[in-house]
Amino acid sequence: MIYRLGELFCGPGGLAWGALHADIGTGDRIVHAWANDYDGPTCDTYRRNICPEAPETVYQGDIRTFDMSQLSPIDALAFGFPCNDYSSVGEQKGLSGTFGPLYSYGVKALKLFRPKWFLAENVSGLKSANNGRAFSLILKELTEAGYRIVPNLYRFEEYGVPQARHRIIIVGIREDISVTFRVPSPAPYAGLDVSCRHAIEVPPIPADAPNNEKTNMSPTVVRRLSYIRPGENAFNADLPEELRLNVKGAKMSMIYRRLDPDRPAYTVTGSGGGGTHIYHWSEPRALTNRERARLQTFPDDFVFEGRKEEVRRQIGMAVPCRGAKVIFEAVLKSFAGIPYESKEASL
């Protein structure tokens, strides 16, 4: 069976890479049909890496004004709806924010195209937004659209991703289809090395790798980093008075935080200013975008389009490629009737 995949809020292609590389050994596979995102460089990245032979199938535009009726039929839908208003970093406006209600366009697409199954993704903070009301409403609307849903909090470091990235993924099967999806177990990935040192250094990043430009570090930042040990940040390191941050209120653990080389990286985000770059454990510098991409399990030949800051944002907003692949393979096995090791959903 071949499943034509449509994608809203597609980002640079982390979910799509996982979908297109999902392989269960039966010939069942997922193919690209179309995608939409509002950001130009992001769409360029997706076109280059996911569907270079059909660039016209990536539609740049604001979903609030985009005409989905022009799109071709699909068998599956993926949508990682914007997380800005649900993230634990920020005001957590939830449904009352600008981006919070955008999940509804995924629901609209489900009603319009009636795909056999879907995958929706968002940050773990979605569960607590608006005192839990947002999550309950989203689950209710997805169910009422005609799908049996399985929401789960995936801890991607348990699935071979070298990063502590925790995301809610909802898989839905159309209610008239007698297929049951179960959350794949992390047990098969327990022996993998998910340290950030291994991810970044094995194999070494080629000298001519794309998106590998280093960020210029000011002398003050270099000095500050020299006092911060692996795993520490600007607030728990023993810094001289002149290098301490004059910040009142919340002290965020990610500010000038250096990686612990023997552990998975902390969550890769799209930010970089104000000390929110991810910092190397031994060299006094921020990671390059290619190093960040490795933490997100993008292959080295995946080329990101745009300025360095735009690329950083694309990488930070993406779903880890290998983590997505695990889930898509579980979906394919569910439809093919192939047993696989599973676990109870954690939401």
Q: Please give the positions annotated as active site.
A: 83
Token digits of residue 332: 């394919």
Q: Is-cis flag, bond preceding 203, omega within 30?
A: yes
Q: Which bin fits 273, alpha (ψ -120 to 50), beta or left (φ > 0)?
A: beta
Burial label for 290, CB within 10 Å (0-12, 13-18, 19+), is: buried
HSE of 77 in the Cβ direction (CA atoms, 13 Å)?
30
Tell me the C-alpha distance between 95 and 104, whole Å.
10
Beta strands 166-174 and 2-8: pairing type? unpaired
Tell me the C-alpha distance between 279 and 118, whole Å.
36
Distance of CA 101 to the CA centre of its chain: 19
How many Å is the Cα radius of gyration of the chain? 20
The set of residues, in sequence order, having a beta carbon less than 8 Å from that of 67 and lying 6+ positions away, is: none
Angstrom distances, CA of residue 331 to CA of 24, 179, 182, 338 = 10, 9, 8, 10
Tell me the C-alpha distance between 257 and 126, whole Å.
25
Q: Are the C-beta atoms of residues 268 and 277 closer than 8 Å to each other? A: no
Angstrom distances, CA of residue 324 to CA of 37, 87, 226, 252, 298 = 19, 20, 36, 28, 11
Nearest alpha-carbon partner for 286 in 333, 238, 334, 218: 218
